Amino acid sequence: MAEAQRTTRMWRNLNAKIAAIPMVLTTLVVFVGGTAWTVLYSFTDSKLLPRERWVGFDQYERLWSNSRWLTSIENLMIYGVLSLIFTIVIGFVLAVAMDQKIRFEDTFRTIMLYPFALSFIVTGLVWQWILNPEFGIQSIVRGLGWESFTFNPLDNPDLVLYGLLIAGLWQGTGFVMCLMLAGLRGIDEDIWKAARVDGIPTWKTYVLIILPMMRPVFITTLVLVAAGIIKLYDLVVAQTSGGPGTASQVPAMYVYDYMFQAQNLGQGFAASTMMLLSVLIVLIPWAYLEFGGRKHG
């Protein structure tokens, strides 16, 4: 009896299962297979072409004593934390503002979302020009008569990260706003009515009632934004190419440079394995929260 049940379950939705086979194979071979291969070869001294000469953890030791890699990690942490906080806070505030039944909401929403339609390369170049002292903000303000005004973050090692952050926020917050807005619209109107009957102020309703109810939206946003931060590459390449000096380097650039420019695959693989680890650190808790809880609940 149980046997028969299992068989029928296996044959249920047969068409859908057959249709999924190519994707499953792609996932297994390209993603899982490629990942395993990369991790494996990070323990070799492969140069331009991969070869199986095992060197243990040598590549990792070199990686973690390299000042450029350490700078990259530090930059990523600063950029990541600030970017996470600001995109989510600004995104949420914008969404709440949109939710006040304002006029021309569609127009505003489109304007806010437009930067997201641009690639990071375009964003990076646009902001490189805006922040360039020769023809950007500095020259405009000086043109208005304030001659001593100096604003040149991209050439200052201490400020360059914030130059990147501005560009990243400009590009990303519109999208977060849309996610948040969808979450807000998903809240039952009755809850608002009940809160109003109880005489709770609007801001308190948002913070104490709506926010906790939007937990799934927040978690999804968090994961999307965090994954985007870890793979941060094209924005930096376009805007600063890692400079001045090594002040705005990020791990993905290290991986690329060492795999292809330095022709040292082993070192590049070790760095990309470390990046994979950090992605997993973000993804596993999310998967646990999203899927783990539901079984019991």
Binding site for another protein (CB under 8 A): 47-49, 62, 66-68, 155, 157, 241, 243-247, 256-264, 267
Beta carbon nearer to another protein, 59 or 123: 59
Helix axes 215-230, 67-98, angle to 10 degrees: 150
Minimum CB separation from another protein for residue 62, in Å? 7
For residue 22, whether the previous peptide bond is cis, meaning omega lies within 30 degrees of 0, is: no
Distances (CA, A) of 119 to 110, 114, 162, 234: 17, 11, 19, 9
Minimum CB separation from another protein for residue 97, in Å? 39
Minimum CB separation from another protein for residue 245, in Å? 3
Minimum CB separation from another protein for residue 67, in Å? 7
Distance CA 251, CA 270 (A): 11
Minimum CB separation from another protein for residue 170, in Å? 22
Minimum CB separation from another protein for residue 48, in Å? 4
Please give the angle made by the CA atoms of 274, 237 and 249, to the nearest 5 degrees: 45
Minimum CB separation from another protein for residue 159, in Å? 13
Runs of H (alpha helix) within 99-239 = 105-117, 120-131, 137-143, 160-185, 189-197, 202-204, 211-213, 215-230, 234-239
Distances (CA, A) of 185 to 18, 35, 110, 195: 37, 39, 17, 16
CB 99 within 8 A of CB 168: no
DSSP string over 134-169: TTSHHHHHHHTT-TT----GGG-TTTHHHHHHHHHH
* Number of Cβ atoms within 10 Å of the Cβ of 41: 21
Token digits for 120? Answer: 């990071």
Beta carbon nearer to another protein, 33 or 244: 244
